[in-house]
Structure 1
């Protein structure tokens, strides 16, 4: 029974830390106007996070960096990126990337 209480306490502590890290900026910055350079900097955070999540998935296969022609996900990602830049859309690039991977794996 002690092990279950310990696990419960760990889960509660993790929840409290997660809540605090998300709530603190809202409480500290509410009612304040941020300087323009800070707003410009923060506007780049979503793209940086997306790139940090996508890059390993596109570039690493079987625990090795793969930049060659055999890396199907890299080519699908590059095609999706090109379409996203051209159309500024979301669904089209996702569908294109999925289609390229599906057709590539079929053949």
Structure 2
């Protein structure tokens, strides 16, 4: 990666990177992981996790604004401005702080 950066090359293809660069070929990456903390543990036993090691995820629906059976929209208001709130049960992390949600 550092070598590509030093040569000003795109990370995904062999072309020179510029601010307007678009790869000729489309790429889709998918990373599948297995929870190592639960391997070899008895059923019902909870793994010990350090707060800093917890993986956070957000669903594709929350990112794209699409809804499915795990998502719903509610109307909200902040500082007099009406807004729509997308609540997604598939996400493990909330990007709003508690103080904002209480308003």
Q: TM-score range by the shorter chain?
A: under 0.3
TM-score (normalizing by structure 2): 0.26
TM-score (normalizing by structure 1): 0.25
